[in-house]
Structure 1
Amino acid sequence: MASWMSTKQCAYLSLILILVPSILLGQGGEMAILKVTLNQEEKGEFLIFITEDGDYPIKTEDLTKMGLSEARGKISTIEKEEFLSLRSIEGVKLEFDEKKLALSIHAEPPLFGKRVLSMRYPKKTEKIYYPKDTAGFLNYNLTYYAGNQFKYEQTQLANQLGFRKGDFLFLTDSSYSQRKGEGAKFVRLMSHLTYDRREDLLRGVLGDSFATSGDLGSTLNIGGISFSKNYLIDPYFIKYPEISFSGLLSLPSEVEVYRDGVLIRKERISPGEMILKDIPTYVGSGLIEVVLRDPFGREQRILQPYYFTDRLLKKGLQEFSYHLGFQRKNFGLKSNEYEDLTFLGYHRYGLMDSLTIGARGEATEKVLNLGLSSTLLLPMRMGVLDTSLAWSGTKGKERGFGGMVNYLYQGRHLSFHFLLKGFTKDYFNVSLLNMTERTKYEFSTGVGYHSQLLGSFSIGFSQTQKYQGLETRNVVASYSRRLIGPSTLSVTFKRDLEANQTEYLLSLNYHFKHLVTVSAGHQRTDGTYNERVQVIKNLPLGEGFGGRASIERYHGKMDEYYNYNLLLQYNARYGQYGGEFISSNYQERYSLTTAGGISLVKDTLSFSRPIQDSFAVVKVGELKGVRVYLSGQEIGKTDSRGKLLIPNLGSYYDSQISINDKDIPMDYTLSEVMKYVNPPLRSGSFIEFKAIKFQAFTGMLKLRKDGEVKPLEYVEFKIMVDGKELPLPTGKGGEFYFENVNPGKYRGELIYMDKKYVFDIIIPKTEEMIVELGEIICE
């Protein structure tokens, strides 16, 4: 037996045999290390007790590690270790090969328990950093406008100020403008304090915010307080019911998952009950195919048709938003004009995976509006049906009612939609109180077809009738198809049945490399038509140029002229600069823009391009010229302080920030070159890559005694570095060695021959890689 076991295994087995009670061994059993195979899958070597009656007790802990988490049977205790009798487990078959010392176990799938695998690719497995740094920023955008012959017209300055501390964010923006011949005008726009509780996906807002009460309700700018369940706080959380698949595997198998014929995931799964949840799908109907392939090459294909919508909530989940405050009036024109205390809110609840119900309401002193809603996934994958019903009571008016039915079916090739909204004459919500036009009903329907070969085609009809106001009736048809390479063709036809007007639009787009798109189009509307050619170069994430150039020829019934547009933008390190020229109908307009951001996080003040979302300061030691990347795209290089600001970090998403280690000098060491950061909303983060300059220090420790100096060989002394003891051994001749200690004076201690010696070690400031400290004398 010893011939096939390692020394470690022999020692372990010998120890077990000594410790096992002699009464058990006296029953004719023995301990052995056996090679175990479970349902054709090798599990390794395990210590197993072999009895004369052909039973094989094994540690319950080892059995669980193999995957048999649901195995139940007779348990014996040996030296405080639980051993489970394999023969006593129902659903288990055993085969022992005495020559090979191998045990083959075949277990029924239920004994393995459930294996739940999320098919959506999860968040990065690497360590995620969730920063909560105190930070602030100021964005500015200054634009100079001029007219014909570059004569001055207007100057406009827009700015946004943000400050975050912990889970709280304060944000305010404003606009300042001055027109020729007019005075200056300052307008405060939105100001609010936001609190996010990320673990519960809850948000509270004090100040200005846009509020809605849902279908048949209002959307208003409210100054007050709000409380909501906001799933955008964690974009990786799946709130809607997705497609799942379950089955039993008796052997380890390779599982392939296909969506509409495209492989989306491939996994190797051990035997047992298998649950594949959250299979990623597109909105509409489709087909999931699961292919199971066992070790012998046998395949099983299972088809599962589905219909998916993101309008539903998973069973038991809820979504809500409540706002109480005063309506903002003349937004963009006046800074602080509020009136009418108003409440708006809605609450939705996932009653079942196929049914979400909701309630909504809004109220002021003049009107009360209440309603119910539902979203239903129809049986047999027939689509999704949204319904809403609302009641309103208004001072001096009769009670009003409103309703909505919205049906959508989206298949792999065919789609259909139907929408009908109807209102009584006295139906009001808050936003309708001051409107003179009263809608009687809105109706729209349409059908679409898509295939990779033929392209996409759709046709629709819409109609709106009002108690007061103009009626509208439109027919719209469109066609689009991808042509050779990254090019697309689209055609649109629109007929206004009330105005008796027809419009055609033909466009062709081609996408080149390096973010360049070229498009050409022709539009005709009852006697007038125009042609347009346009080239667009999108701005890069980092530094670089972008812009737009277009020329348009207009043919009217009475005249003909050309329109020109030229826009040039540049993303610089410390700002964004641009200029635009527009010529339309012989009228010229010019604009020059400079925009940027000023940010502060920790002790770092930075100037940059405008900060659109969150930002981060990356620090790489004190090294200049190190390239920094965001999700693989170069953002810039560190400055003389070793720092670079990233002004476009996405809130709530795992952002990959990395540096190029080829830019690091040879005498520096890095702990890591990549980090994943998940920042909160409009936050500033300090991301440090520690670059430590490698510096070695050598010397000789000696003892002066009785006028004689001799080396202290093969002893250990210690020095205090940053409040911690650093033990250092000496070698031949008393030589010692240590690394990476900052310049300064350090206290050393040595206990030798029962006597304590204290001395100083001085580290000089030098750029040398290896520093000789000379002799350190203990006295």
Structure 2
Amino acid sequence: MTAPSVQPLRLSRVPEPRVFFAWPIVVLLLLQRVPAAQAGEQLQLEVFINDVPTKLIGSFVAVDGQRLGARRQELEDIGVNPGKDTAATDIIALDEIAGLSYRYDVPQQRLLITIPDSLRATQVYRATTRPEAPTAVEAGYGAVLNYNLFAASSGDFNRSAFAFNGVSATFDARAFSPFGTLSQSAIVRSSPAGPAGASGQGGVLRLDTTFAYSDPQTLISYRAGDAITGGLAWTRPVRLGGFQTQRNFGLRADLITLPLASVSGSAAVPSTVDVYINNLKTYSQDLNTGPYQITNIPVITGGGEARIVLRDAAGHETQTTSPFYVSQSLLAPGLFDFSFEAGLPRINYGTTLDAYVGKPVASGSWRQGVFDWLTLEGHAEAGGGLLNGGAGAVLRTGGFGVASFALAASHFGGSTGLQPYASYEARIGPVTFNASSQMTFGNYNDLASVTARFQASGLKQSPSIFEVLRYDIPLAGAPALSPLFIDAKPPKMLNRISIGAPLSFDSGSLSASYIDLRAASGDRSKILTASYSRPLPFGAYVSATAFTDLGAKRNTGFFVGLSVPIGGSATASTSVSTGKDGTSVIEDVTKPLGLEPGSVGWRVTGSQGKPAVQSAAASYRSPYGWAEATIGHANHGATATAQVDGAIATMGTGVFLTSRIDDSFAVVEAGVPNVGVLYENRPIGVTDSNGRLLVPGLRSYQKNKIAIDTRNLPIDADVATTQDVIAPADRAGVRVDFGVRTKVEAAILVLSTADGKPVPAGSHGEIEGKQEFVVGYDGRAYVKGLAPENSIVVTTERGTCRASFTYMAKPNEQVVLPITCR
């Protein structure tokens, strides 16, 4: 490839004497310079800008032995803005940049560049570390069954009777593999026969059946079976049975999806910049002279204030403050979020009338991050004669807040409708503010209202599959089912506003909200709420809330609560509330159940009002789950309940009883019993008689560190590794084998020469041509795979020697064999 043509270089000249005999000196100097910068030669030079070291090594090219150039990206990296609209890989001659001069110091291999501030490139620093390379996601083969067993009984003191009311079991089962997870949840109920021989009630209530797979490379999750449609702030989700694909940013825990705060400025001299977020120092960086920008400053969502402190070498400080606002509603530029689904709508979920309607529907939602301050979004849905679509935008309004706007339209049954939506969230100083408004005009419908019409207009029930899965067809004239809700259409108007702020004269905070709702049926509610809360000495806490409904219902009430710690993790609390049903007082003393096996929790509660209730409960957590028993008294009767919660997991050849597993888990294979296992440097348990331990509660798609405590390993054990870092797939299990072996036929050989001196360290040995080893200090060598009869050859600096020896393993004992090599 031909090098780009450049103009002759104007170098800093050596002062030319006005005498004739000086010209040979000039020639010699030029001859010394040319060999150091031949045409096309690549140079790695230390860069100084305005006599200040950049602490960077730049890559330059000598085009014709006289002129230096560099690629555009290289110039920007060292802090020079070439000011030319060229590709990042194009070579730019330094003397073609107007206002730039330089001197090439050949002996020191330095490049001294002089530029004005206008040619300084903005120094960009990232306050958060760049995302690490994701750990390979693992998933084994196995299954998990989460269960919750509940039983209840009641008695009447007047009749001296105590009867069993029934039992129910909630199951959440799943089978997982590297190819995905199949899950099924259900409720099984049973109740005793009623009076006069009436039959009891019971049965199986299916909840969700789903097969799911997630791809960490594309950040996409796929789901077949029961699903809930995705949506936006101005849409309503529905349940359906079918297929769903959606973006899942949760597959990369290190990925920051929202635009973070950034600050910028300019340093007149080399300085240090400190960034404070809400008076908390979060970042510090040494700066060179010139403009700078600090991006991706870690902040919590909401508003705040960034304070930038610039300090030079002499200790002079300049401070600037800037408000910022970070919202989950915004996407970082370039990110695309979506959810698309299609299938049959599901109605009456969680009841005996649960069914799928034979009318296919489809729904889709998407969001696109355009700029730090702008995210576009859209939504569309169709099915059952409905067409609905809308678009919106989320904008950051400077450093104070975020505004959202959207407009949706629908066509159903020959009529159309509109739904505008607007919201604004902001923080100005300590005051937070949120407001939103959603209205409908005309006959606006969405999938939620259309599928409700299927229920109300009548369904022809088809035979069920295994008496669990039923498929119903909408049919005119079929008997209508009672709706589970009064009005399924979007409200005609829903206005909400809330405001909150800490009190400057008090350590408490005050908040208020107002909701104005006009349902599609015409009913209207106008609810005003005000709350106050503050901490008290000794860890106590008090809160108060008052509300009033200014609509047709005309209801007013208040609530006051006080909570006081009484030692350990126990807390005593009391509350008073009043409303249209009267006044009630509740006293409660609670010690919550801890997460560690062996934890005990309890609760004693009493209330005065209508009705008056007293109850007591005790709970216990073991490595296999938790159990709770409750007894209560109200009026003339008593109730008693008991429940057990846990899980059964299987992986490989092992079956484990454990606590509930809602996320991922690992089965640790230590090879020997009673070996301590640590999760994130915290003891989690010991291996069983088979040398295995199930570790629940792992974080899916994130790094989880698991280690073993080697102190309880047998002396003769051989360990391949003592810790491992894994990233399990969602709701899957991973097998972690530490490769502990006890039958390794190993021994420590203490080798000495014929004169009784230890074989020198570093000598190489070999056992019958099968295994090589290195001799350590004092002639010691650890060797594995020994046979009853062995021969070795050891090579030292002085030559080779040989020896033969016998070996016999000793359980749980390190074998040490002294050997003379001749």
What is the TM-score of this pair, normalised by structure 2?
0.74
Partner residue in 1 for 2:512? 459
The one-letter amino acid of 2:698's match is L
**CA offsets per residue over residues 9-45 of structure 1, 9 Å max, x none?**
xxxxxxxxxxxxxx999839999xx999997779699
Structure 2 SS opposite 1:322: strand
**CA offsets per residue over residues 402-461 of structure 1, 9 Å max, x none?**
222222223342222322222235221122132763532222223322247532212222
Structure 1 residue 384 corresponds to structure 2 residue 402: yes
**Farther-moved stretch of structure 1 (634-643 vs 491-500):** 634-643
Structure 1 residue 227 corresponds to structure 2 residue 245: yes
The one-letter amino acid of 2:172's match is Q
**CA offsets per residue over residues 377-417 of structure 1, 9 Å max, x none?**
23x4453222222222222x522222222222233422223
Partner residue in 2 for 1:157? 169
**Which of 741, 758, 763 matches 2:784?**
741
Partner residue in 1 for 2:619? 569
For 1:389-428, list aligned pairs within 5 A.
389-395=407-413, 397-424=414-441, 426-428=443-445
Partner residue in 2 for 1:501? 555
**CA offsets per residue over residues 208-246 of structure 1, 9 Å max, x none?**
111134344332111110111122222321222111124
The one-letter amino acid of 1:605's match is V
**For the residues of structure 2 that align with 1:514 and 1:741, how far apart are their CA atoms?**
53
Partner residue in 1 for 2:360? 341
Is this contact kept in 2: 1:475–1:494, CA < 8 A? yes
For 1:538-557, list aligned pairs within 5 A.
538-556=592-610
The one-letter amino acid of 2:623's match is R
**For the residues of structure 2 that align with 1:271 and 1:674, how far apart are their CA atoms?**
46
**Which of 440, 445, 449 matches 2:497?**
445
**CA offsets per residue over residues 242-296 of structure 1, 9 Å max, x none?**
1112445576644321112122233456777644221122333321112233444
Structure 2 SS opposite 1:239: coil
Structure 1 residue 581 corresponds to structure 2 residue 637: no
**Which of 729, 732, 736 matches 1:680?**
729
**For the residues of structure 2 that align with 1:69 and 1:582, how far apart are their CA atoms?**
74
**For the residues of structure 1 that align with 2:126 and 2:233, how far apart are their CA atoms?**
33
Kindly state the Cα deviation for residue 204 of structure 1 after the two structures are TM-superposed.
Answer: 0.9
In the alignment of these two chains, the number of paired residues is: 710
Is this contact kept in 1: 2:56–2:78, CA < 8 A? no
Structure 2 SS opposite 1:431: helix
When residues 28 and 463 of structure 1 are mapped into structure 2, their CA distance, relative to the original with a 3 A threshold, is: closer
Structure 1 residue 358 corresponds to structure 2 residue 412: no
For 1:170-569, list aligned pairs within 5 A.
170-181=182-193, 182-247=200-265, 253-268=271-286, 274-334=292-352, 337-339=355-357, 340-378=359-397, 380-395=398-413, 397-424=414-441, 426-433=443-450, 434=453, 437=487, 439-451=491-503, 454=506, 455-468=508-521, 470-497=523-550, 498-510=552-564, 515-526=569-580, 528-556=582-610, 562-569=612-619
The one-letter amino acid of 2:379's match is R
Is this contact kept in 2: 1:252–1:295, CA < 8 A? yes
The one-letter amino acid of 2:555's match is Q
Partner residue in 2 for 1:772? 817
When residues 249 and 324 of structure 1 are mapped into structure 2, their CA distance, relative to the original with a 3 A threshold, is: same
**For the residues of structure 2 that align with 1:500 and 1:411, how far apart are their CA atoms?**
34
When residues 124 and 35 of structure 1 are mapped into structure 2, their CA distance, relative to the original with a 3 A threshold, is: closer
Structure 1 residue 597 corresponds to structure 2 residue 647: yes
When residues 699 and 284 of structure 1 are mapped into structure 2, their CA distance, relative to the original with a 3 A threshold, is: closer
**For the residues of structure 2 that align with 1:690 and 1:115, how far apart are their CA atoms?**
49
Is this contact kept in 1: 2:395–2:403, CA < 8 A? yes
**Which of 662, 674, 698 matches 2:749?**
698
**CA offsets per residue over residues 571-620 of structure 1, 9 Å max, x none?**
21123222222334444322222222222334443221111211122344
Kindly state the Cα deviation for residue 476 of structure 1 after the two structures are TM-superposed.
Answer: 0.7
**For the residues of structure 1 that align with 2:794 and 2:603, how far apart are their CA atoms?**
80
**Farther-moved stretch of structure 1 (692-701 vs 585-594):** 692-701
Is this contact kept in 2: 1:413–1:451, CA < 8 A? no
Is this contact kept in 2: 1:743–1:765, CA < 8 A? no
Kindly state the Cα deviation for residue 647 of structure 1 after the two structures are TM-superposed.
Answer: 1.4
**For the residues of structure 2 that align with 1:213 and 1:351, how far apart are their CA atoms?**
19
The one-letter amino acid of 1:27's match is Q
Structure 2 SS opposite 1:219: coil
Kindly state the Cα deviation for residue 477 of structure 1 after the two structures are TM-superposed.
Answer: 0.8
The alignment yields a C-alpha RMSD, in angstroms, of 4.8
**For the residues of structure 2 that align with 1:42 and 1:216, how far apart are their CA atoms?**
52
When residues 511 and 775 of structure 1 are mapped into structure 2, their CA distance, relative to the original with a 3 A threshold, is: same
Structure 2 residues without counterparts, runs of 5 or longer: 1-27, 37-44, 59-64, 83-92, 156-160, 194-199, 454-484
Is this contact kept in 2: 1:36–1:104, CA < 8 A? yes
**For the residues of structure 2 that align with 1:751 and 1:628, how far apart are their CA atoms?**
41
**For the residues of structure 2 that align with 1:449 and 1:731, how far apart are their CA atoms?**
70
Partner residue in 2 for 1:726? 771
The one-letter amino acid of 2:686's match is K
**For the residues of structure 2 that align with 1:321 and 1:748, how far apart are their CA atoms?**
68
Is this contact kept in 2: 1:489–1:508, CA < 8 A? yes
**Farther-moved stretch of structure 1 (643-652 vs 763-772):** 763-772
Partner residue in 2 for 1:7? none
Is this contact kept in 2: 1:620–1:626, CA < 8 A? no
The one-letter amino acid of 1:718's match is E
Structure 1 residue 651 corresponds to structure 2 residue 700: yes
**For the residues of structure 1 that align with 2:504 and 2:699, how far apart are their CA atoms?**
33
For 1:93-172, list aligned pairs within 5 A.
116-120=124-128, 130-148=137-155, 151-172=163-184
Percent of residue pairs identical? 21
Kindly state the Cα deviation for residue 489 of structure 1 after the two structures are TM-superposed.
Answer: 1.6
**For the residues of structure 2 that align with 1:595 and 1:69, how far apart are their CA atoms?**
62
**For the residues of structure 2 that align with 1:71 and 1:672, how far apart are their CA atoms?**
50
Q: Which has the higher strand share?
A: 1
**Farther-moved stretch of structure 1 (504-513 vs 606-615):** 504-513
When residues 682 and 622 of structure 1 are mapped into structure 2, their CA distance, relative to the original with a 3 A threshold, is: same
Structure 2 SS opposite 1:232: helix
**For the residues of structure 1 that align with 2:505 and 2:217, how far apart are their CA atoms?**
46
**For the residues of structure 2 that align with 1:306 and 1:659, how far apart are their CA atoms?**
46
Structure 1 residues without counterparts, runs of 5 or longer: 1-22, 47-54, 73-83, 704-710
